[in-house]
Amino acid sequence: MSRSRNPDKASGTAATTVVVMRLYIAGSAPNSIQAIANLEAICREHLKGIHKLEIVDILEQPQRAMADGVLVTPSLTKVSPLPAANVVGNLNDKNKVLLALGIKGKVA
């Protein structure tokens, strides 16, 4: 089961590209819970309205995770825009996440 969180509205005009991401988690493992919270905070702060996030629970969809080449959890993949990027870990290091997602200049 995947939970999709669409952008709130098409408020982001053509000027900004939508960032498509996929977060792989493992049920309610502490790191996974942490990762969801961290990512949602980042999205609220930096990608309001211009992101698309899919959360994949490996405990429920192990075959899919394997097909996607996921190894450890939690693991974040930026699907688009290219280049694709991978971040592993509970996303506690916000700067690294921003860097990987290609969001610049907005670091406080």
Partner 1 sequence: MNGTKRAIPQPLPKLSTGIEGFDDLSRGGLPRNRTSLIVGGPGAGKTVFALQSLVNGIRRRQEAGIFVAFEEAPRQVIANGATFDWGLAALAKSKLFLLDACLSPTAIQSGEFDLVGMLAMLKAKKQEIGAEWIAFDGIDVLLTLLHDPVAEMREIYRLRDWLADNALTAIVTAKLDNGHSGAPHYGFMQFMADCVIRLERRLEHGVSTHRLGIAKYRGSDFAAGEFPVSFGPSGIEVGAAEPAEIRHEASIERLSSGFERLDAMLGGGLFRGSSTLITGVPGTSKTTLAGKFAEAACRRGERTLFVSFDEGAEPIARNLSSVGIQLKPHVKSGLLRMYSARTETISAEDHLLKIRALIREHRPRCMVIDPLTAIAKAGGLVAARAVANRLIYMIKDERVTVVITALNEGDDPQAESTDLQISSIADTWIHLSYLVRSGERNRALTIVKSRGTWHSNQVRELVLSATGPKLTDVYTAGGEVLMGTLRWEKEAEESARETRRYAEFDHKRRELQSAEAHTGAQIKALQLDLQRQQAELAMYSNDNEVRNTTTSDREEKLRKMRSADPAARAPGAAAAHARRRIAPDPEKKGGNGATQ
- Contact status, residue 58 vs residue 77, Cβ threshold 8 Å: no
Q: How far is CA 84 from the centre of its chain?
A: 12
Q: How far is the CB of 7 from partner 1 (least distance, A)?
A: 23
Cβ closest to partner 1, residue 50 vs residue 97: 97
Is residue 21 within 8 A of residue 76, CB to CB? The reply is yes
Which residue lies nearer to partner 1 by CB, 9 or 106? Answer: 106
Residue 100, classed as helix, strand or coil, is: helix
Q: Summarize as ranges the residues that interact with partner 1 (CB under 8 A).
A: 24-27, 29, 31-32, 34-35, 38, 58-59, 62-63, 65-66, 69-75, 85-94, 96-97, 99-100
